Amino acid sequence: MASIFENNNNESTLFIGGHRTSGPEVRQQNAAVSIANVVKTSLGPVGLDKMMVDDVGDVTISNDGATILNLLEVEHPAGKILVELARQQDKEVGDGTTSVVVIAAELLKRANELTKNGLHPTSIMTGYRVGCKEACKFIADHIAIKVASIDRETLLNVAKTTLSSKILGNYGNHFCEIAVDSVNAVKTIDFRGKPKYPIKAISILKIKGASAIESTSISGYALQRPYASQAMLQKVSNAKIACIDFDLSKVRLKMGVSIVIDDPEQLEDIRKREIDITKEKVVKILASGANVILSTRGIDDVYAKMLVENDAVAVTRIEKDELRRIAKGTGATILTTMSNLEGDEVFETSSLGSAESVSQVRLSDEDCVVIQGTKEKSSSVILRGANDYMLDEMERSLHDSLCTVGRVLESSSVVPGGGAVESAVNVYLENFASTLGSREQLAVAEFASALLSIPRQLAVNAAKDSTDLVAKLRAYHSASQMPQANPSRLALKYYGLDLINGTLRDNKQAGVVEPAMSKIKMLKSATEAAIAILRIDDMIKLIPEKPKEDPHAH
């Protein structure tokens, strides 16, 4: 008997208990397009927000592509590829997460049309690869503006362009200044002598109350935790910092260990010894010269009192990631135990980190600890806002702009925004496609058309006439790419959309710029994702096995 029973449509039922979908049916299940439809209205400076409510009832309001897609329960395997794509773009560049999904979905939609017209998927994939390679080369050679010495103005413009589509775009230059100052504060030089800007070294604190405009940036690490005791000094100068990952609390016997005693007086001795074991640890830590103790666990009042008497301060229950960051910045070593290889309890002075000062400051109704003057530069941003939803979205927006500023400083090239790059590449690729004498010509032409989905969607979201604006934009870029174009025409390649007034403008002059790396990565990632989904021609979905009922259960 045959192992597969064919149904009328292109779906077969497998003898192993599952469904097999093959051929064009797989490609036409447009999970990609429906996912792109969810995020595309959030694109651009006048994009709208989405509200996601999960199964517990937690609410998230955002217009950040990666955040929205992370919170969607995507069942379809091809859809999952797109979600992963947005996440990757967010990790590598920080911005352009919505655009990358919109382009990938558009490429798939057009590939479906081509397969219906009889073009083989392999030819489409080859065409897309050629299109992507040419597009990236064209952006790098002709559109990217190399900035030899990046001035503050350029960085502010980059931050402003990123923030314009977010919740923080309404506050003028305030957050752009914060983003640029914070990124510049964490500059380091790697082993090749190149500057690096680790965005993770910038800690973001979210404190409710006050208006967003009162958000500030400070140099140093800020921790959203108070001191372990209110009696501790408010400020410690010339701080020697011990970072520990163990409890400073009374020693308790392990599970299953019990002590049998005949004399009740011995009980008191045991209790006293339990306190003394940890007391000895604290004495050893203080003897090494430490006057600040940062711990990921708790500390008992008895030992907090010892620290107060010795003019030392302690902060407890710090998250491990934060403690790692502080340890790296101050030069401390995180200790998980005080036992050395011989089994003795010691605390070496070499494990301590140093900072100029550690102080506790009060913000709104919360106490925060600020560590300043560390060995490695660090920076913290204190965000103020009305409620949790707003603060979360502000943090996501700020993170995006910090990433883009960092990327521009590392790669030192920018491109004009507002759909300028996509329109220029579209015109270039259409001309390039007509020089190809193979069937890939069709795929390259479709790749070029797919890019126009970005300026078109930007115009639609801004309630402007997208057909009219995109046609004008293409005409401008076409004129700039003419072989005999004069300098005034060449400048047209920087023209993009001005969505507030519904016109075209020179976005290089207007200061609407983005990292060139963001656009190149976006095209590469979107093409790879589209190709990954196009390669699939068979989907086999197994039906989960039902647990067998035990006949003796009743």
Handedness of CA 189, 195, 196, 197 (dihedral sign): positive
Q: Is 162 a catalytic residue?
A: no
* HSE of 204, CA atoms in CB hemisphere, 13 A: 22
Burial class of residue 499 in the structure, from the number of CB atoms within 10 Å of its CB (0-12 exposed, 13-18 middle, 19+ buried): buried
Query: Which residue in 60, 98, 154, 316 is the catalytic one?
Result: 98
Q: How far is CA 49 from CA 79, 80, 384, in A?
A: 21, 22, 20
Distance between CA 176 and CA 162 in Å, rounded?
9
Using CA atoms in the order 224, 230, 231, 235, what is the torsion angle rounded to 10 degrees? 30
Q: Is 64 a catalytic residue?
A: yes
Query: Which residue in 21, 60, 64, 527 is the catalytic one?
Result: 64
> 3-state DSSP: the chain helix, strand, coil percent, rounded to 5?
50, 20, 30
Distance between CA 91 and CA 74 in Å, rounded?
20
**What is the length of the chain?**
554
Residue 122 corresponds to which tokens in the numbers above?
């392999």
Query: Which residue in 95, 181, 392, 400 is the catalytic one?
Result: 400
Distance between CA 532 and CA 528 in Å, rounded?
6
Distance between CA 316 and CA 245 in Å, rounded?
10
Query: Which residue in 21, 60, 97, 115 is the catalytic one?
Result: 97
For residue 187, give the nearest of 203, 202, 205, 175 by alpha carbon.
202
Q: How far is CA 438 from CA 123, 130, 159, 446, in A?
A: 9, 12, 43, 14
For residue 15, give the nearest of 6, 27, 28 by alpha carbon.
6
Residue 172 corresponds to which tokens in the numbers above?
């003028």
Residue 49 corresponds to which tokens in the numbers above?
């927000």
Distance between CA 281 and CA 286 in Å, rounded?
9
Distance between CA 94 and CA 88 in Å, rounded?
9
Map tokens 């035990």 to a residue.
Answer: 550
SS3 56: coil
Q: Is 115 a catalytic residue?
A: no
Radius of gyration, alpha carbons of the chain? 30
Using CA atoms in the order 460, 463, 465, 469, what is the torsion angle rounded to 10 degrees? -70
Distance between CA 34 and CA 17 in Å, rounded?
29
Residue 174 corresponds to which tokens in the numbers above?
């305030």
Distance between CA 363 and CA 368 in Å, rounded?
7
Positions marked catalytic? 64, 97-98, 400
